[in-house]
Amino acid sequence: MTSSGLDRRRLLLGGLGAASLPLVAAACSRDDDAPTTEFANAPIGDAPAARNVRDFGATGDGTTDDTAAIARAFEGLDRPTAVYLPTGTYRVTSWPTMPDYATLSGDGADVTTVLYEQNGTLIELRDKQRVNFRRLGFFLTGPTATGIVLAGCFRCSFDSVTVRGNHSSSTFPQFVEQRGIVLSDNTGGTTFTNCDINNFGVGLTTRTIQNYVTASKFTSNRVGVLGTGGDFTAGLALTNVEFVSDNNRDTTDKHLLVDGPANDCWLINVWFEGSDVAVSVGAPDVGGPSQFGMVNCKVAARTTCIELRYCRQPYLANVILDPDPDSTPAELVIDPVHTPTGTAINLISGSDDDVDFSAFPPDWTVIGRGAAAGATYTGTVVARATGDDDLLRTERDGRTTAVVRPDGTWVSDDPGAGVVLKDSDGGYWRLVVGTDGALRTDSLGRTRP
């Protein structure tokens, strides 16, 4: 780990430590210095103006129960409407039904907070379309609370939304049953942009095809993302996402866990640090994703960076594998029975140059810096030399043993090597040249060299 990486980690841990205990106080009090400018509520075309929950009696003072007032703001909505929560903390015990195409917005994820101190689920959307959440935060304190469930929903979106629980190393294991967001029942096309999902037992659970997370962050969850369901539907695409935590084993077990049969899982430009196992994919004798890919990722962990336990068509490219502080993790663990084939390109080891090729099952295609292993070619293979360079060269222990020259000449530089032929009776013979240039044969028996 570079010094800059350690400095970055110290800043992160300092922030986490400061925020781990006083979450309730921060969420339940108004900040007198917070901005008070409210977003304009002017209508667009024939759409109605946003409904300000203050106009329906909500106070946002963090003490008053605003449940009924917010419910009144949603009453009678029969067309796309925005409901607006100005700066404040809105304490609620339940949430009203939200219609299709509704937008719930605030002044910012750090200044507009919905505080839910109950167990159970705060918001459940079922069979809804294009419900949008913008610029607000949700804080859950119930030990078994769930923030938001989307069941059978289509193209809902979260933009600049924070969903926060109470799990941390200091509260473990009291809040490991908390869930941040759950996607189920064929929910699809849901997007999370510039969002934070923090301090849950499981941050994001997906049982559905296919949803998208970008420019977002998962912090100090026991499990950051869980792909589950066992019916080949759990799939997710993550782009420009961070998974971070402290170095306490009670905080984060796994950042990304796919626990059985699933659909496509793709990760591009994703950062992992601070967990026992950063990425765990599939379960032996149960199943795993139909496709799994990681491109341009940085993965650090305490015990295992990436484990592929059951996976079809895995593809890893430009992945850097590193230890967390004071750790020596296994960089790559692959089950050769349930993940027999795959592709790995430019996997860089934090403790060496490339990940050792012995970490890959023999049928994997692996390309490192200046080396390749396991490649199988079908059809005619053409090699073209550059200038007078050798066309092909074999090496052992840093010593050239044979080459093919550009004109097709085959040269063996090892007197003990050379052409071996098999006779019709199954015996092997080596062609040997003497110092006088005469050829003879040496019997090698029936054991293939």
Query: Does residue 11 carry a pLDDT above 60?
Result: no
**pLDDT of res. 9:** 42
Instruction: Give the model's pLDDT for residue 100.
Output: 94
Average pLDDT over residues 322-343: 94
**Distances in whole angstroms, Cα of residue 28 to Cα of each of 63, 92, 114, 141:** 7, 12, 10, 11
pLDDT band at 12 (very low <50, low <70, confident <90, very high): very low
Confidence of residue 391 (pLDDT cuts 50, 70, 90): confident
Report whether 218 contacts 225 (CB < 8 A). yes
* Alpha carbon distance 136, 108 (integer Å): 5
The answer to whether the Cα torsion of 67, 71, 72, 74 is positive or negative is positive
* C-alpha closest to that of 130 among 160, 98, 161, 108: 98
Host H or E run for residue 26: helix 23-28
The tens digit of pLDDT for each residue in 115-131 reads: 999 999 999 999 999 99
pLDDT for res 351: 66
Residue 35 pLDDT > 80: no
pLDDT for the residue 417: 79
DSSP state of 54: G
112-116 vs 236-244, strand pairing mode: unpaired
Residue 265 in this model has a pLDDT that exceeds 50: yes
Report the pLDDT averaged over residues 258-277. 95
Task: State the chain's maximal CA–CA distance in angstroms.
Answer: 107
SS3 19: helix
pLDDT band at 2 (very low <50, low <70, confident <90, very high): very low
Q: Considering only residues 225 and 418, tell me which one the structure prediction assigns the higher pLDDT.
A: 225
- Average pLDDT of every residue of the chain: 87
The domains of the chain, with CATH numbers, are 3-373 (2.160.20.10), 392-445 (no CATH)
| Integer Cα distance of 276 and 221 in angstroms | 12
Question: What pLDDT, on the 0 to 100 scale, is given for residue 352?
Answer: 65
**pLDDT (average), residues 320-330:** 93
pLDDT (0 to 100) of residue 60: 97
**DSSP assignments along 227-278, one per residue:** E--SSS---EEEEEEEEE--S-TTT-SEEEEE-SSEEEEEEEEEEE-SSSEE
Task: Please check the confidence at residue 401 and state whether its pLDDT lies above 90.
Answer: no
**Is pLDDT above 60 for 26?**
no
Determine the 3-state secondary structure of 204 from DSSP.
Answer: strand
Residue 22 reports pLDDT greater than 50:
no
Question: What is the pLDDT averaged over residues 345-368?
Answer: 86
Can you give the pLDDT at residue 253? 98
Question: In 10 A of CB 10, how many CB atoms?
Answer: 10
Q: Quick one: pLDDT at residue 19? A: 40
pLDDT band at 74 (very low <50, low <70, confident <90, very high): very high
pLDDT at 394 over 90: no
pTM of structure? 0.81
Distance (Å, rounded) from C-alpha 294 to C-alpha 315?
6
What backbone phi and psi angles, to 5 degrees, belong to 11? Answer: -60, -40
- When pLDDT is cut at 50, 70 and 90, the band that residue 375 belongs to is low
Task: Please state, in angstroms and rounded to a whole number, the distance separating the CA atoms of residues 427 and 447.
Answer: 8
- Which residue's entry shows tokens 């032996």? 284
Q: Among 42-51, 82-91, 151-160, 241-250, whose mean pLDDT is lowest?
A: 42-51
Distance CA 449, CA 418 (A): 11
Mean pLDDT on 265-290: 95
Neighbouring CB atoms inside 10 A of 127's CB total 13
Measured from the Cβ of residue 21, the count of other Cβ atoms closer than 10 Å reads 13
